[in-house]
Amino acid sequence: MIEMRFHGRGGQGAVTSAELVAQAAIDTGKYATAFPSFGPERRGAPVVAFARVDDQPVRLRSKIYSPDVVIVLDPSLLDIANPADGITPNGILIVNTSHGAEAVRTRLNYKGRLALVDANRIANEVLGLPITNTTMVGALVRATQLLTVESLKEPFKRRFGKIAPRNIEAMERAWNETTLYDGVVH
């Protein structure tokens, strides 16, 4: 089972990212669950969403404490807390940032596998808004190879209707522009 934790701010679509990933996995015949860290939410407040993907039915319903994948949708979240808390030794941290790997590693004291993409820039260029959820799905697919961009297209279409094509474009651009960094198993 792969456990993924999405960190965002209310209104940025972190929950939607988790849902899209789960739906794509389910479409391809796997089992998956996705859910937000429940609570009263408001725009701008830090939120966390979870997704689990497995070949067996997912019975685990608690929050994710040892994620295999951590996705950070908003670079400013790195200033608040360490989103990589609890990440598994071979896990991967995927961050939306315009900074380089060294800056991120230093700030979080993180030595593991890393994937970086300037999702804000892509989202602004393609969608005209810094809403990075769909962009980061592209980075997730590139970094984990858990799903394919192709498998996400149907869930995107169901979810976004008319604006699906632009979101798919954002996802594809992120897939191309994500940089992967090996890490030390910690």
Q: Which residues contribute to the site for another protein (CB under 8 A)?
A: 18-19, 22-23, 25-27, 31-36, 38-40, 58-63, 65, 155
Tell me how far, at minimum, the Cβ of 158 lies from another protein, in Å.
Answer: 9
- The residue type of 59 is R
CA distances in angstroms from 156 to 3, 20, 45, 159, 177, listed in the order given: 21, 7, 25, 5, 20
Q: Least distance in Å: CB of 90 to another protein?
A: 21
Nearer to another protein, 59 or 111 (CB): 59
Return the structure tokens found at 127. Answer: 């969608």
Query: CB-based burial of residue 52 (10 Å sphere; 0-12 exposed, 13-18 middle, 19+ buried)?
Result: buried
Residue 15 beta carbon to another protein: minimum distance, rounded to whole angstroms = 9
Fill in the DSSP letter of residue 98.
Answer: S
Query: Closest approach of Cβ 98 to another protein, in Å?
Result: 31
Contact status, residue 18 vs residue 140, Cβ threshold 8 Å: no
Name every residue whose Cβ is closer than 8 Å to that of residue 48 and which is 6 or more positions away in sequence: 5, 6, 7, 8, 14, 36, 37, 63
| Greatest extent of the chain over all pairs of C-alpha atoms, in Å | 44
Query: For another protein, which is the closer residue by CB, 42 or 182?
Result: 42
Nearer to another protein, 62 or 109 (CB): 62
Amino acid in position 150: E
Nearest distance from C-beta of residue 35 to another protein, angstroms: 4
Which residue, 47 or 108, has its beta carbon nearer to another protein? 47
The nearer residue to another protein, 38 or 184, going by C-beta atoms, is 38
Nearer to another protein by Cβ, of 50 and 110: the residue is: 50
Q: Minimum distance between the CB of residue 24 and another protein, rounded to whole angstroms?
A: 8
Nearest to 4 by CA among 56, 60, 77, 74: 60
